[in-house]
Chains A and B, each alone.
Chain A
Amino acid sequence: MNLPKGTPFMPEGLLLSASDLQSTLNNLMQDQFSGYLRCDLPGSKQGFVFLSRGQMVRAFELSSSGVKLYTPERLFARAGEGAPSASYVMTPAMAEILASSFALENSPAANWRQTLQDGKRTGFVEFSQPFAGTVLYRKGEPVQESMTSAYGELVCGREGLSKLLNEGQPARVLAAEPAELEEKARKAHKDLDAMREVKLKSVSGFFATKDALKVEAELASGWGVNPKGFTLVVETPEGKLIGKLKTIVGSKKAGVMEIPLKIMQEWGASDDQDVWVYPE
Chain B
Amino acid sequence: MRHQPTEETAKADEAFKRRNWKDAEDSFQRILTRAPEHVEAYLGLAETQAVLGNFTSSVQTLWQAVEICEKTAQIDLGLNIIARILELKPHHELALQKRIDLLFANQRNQEGVAYSRDLAQWFIENDHVDTAIKLLLRSFQLASDDLELTLVLAEAYLTNGQMREATGLFRQVIPHFLEAQDWEKAAGIMRRLSLMDPKDPRNFMEMGELYIKLEKYQEADQQFRAVLRIDLNHRDALLKIAEVSLLRKLFRDASMVYNRLISLSSEDAEAHEGLGMVYKGQGMQADAAKHLLMAGLAYAEKDVKDRAHRCFAAVLEIDPANNIASRQMKILAPGV
Contacts and interface: CB of A to CB of B under 8 A. Distances in A.
Contacts of A82: 19
A2 to B, nearest CB: 21
What are the 9 closest A-B residue pairs judged by CB atoms, nearest first?
Answer: A27-B53, A24-B53, A148-B90, A31-B55, A10-B50, A28-B53, A147-B90, A10-B51, A31-B56
A11 B21 CA distance: 13
Contact of B50 (A9, A15, A25): A9
A146 B125 contact: yes
A9 B88 contact: yes
Interface string A169-198: 000000000000000000000000000000
**What interface size band does chain B fall in?**
20 to 34
A153 to B, nearest CB: 13
Interface string B89-104: 0110000100000000
Contact of B54 (A27, A37, A146, A148): A27
A192 B21 CA distance: 31
Interface in A2-27: 7, 9-11, 14-17, 20, 23-27
Contacts, number: 66
B53 A31 contact: yes
Contacts of A11: 2, 47, 50-51
B52 A27 contact: yes
A28, A32, A146: which has the most chain B beta carbons within 10 Å?
A: A146
Nearest to A146: B122
A137 B39 CA distance: 40
A82 B19 CA distance: 10
Contacts of A27: 52-55
Nearest to B22: A23
Given A11-B47, A20-B21, A145 B52 contact: no
Interface of B: 2, 19, 21, 47, 50-58, 86-88, 90-91, 96, 118-119, 122, 125
A148 B51 contact: no
A157 to B, nearest CB: 10
A248 B96 CA distance: 63
A28 B59 CA distance: 13
A59 interface: no
B52 A23 contact: yes
9 contacts: A11-B2, A11-B47, A15-B19, A24-B52, A24-B53, A27-B52, A31-B56, A147-B96, A147-B118
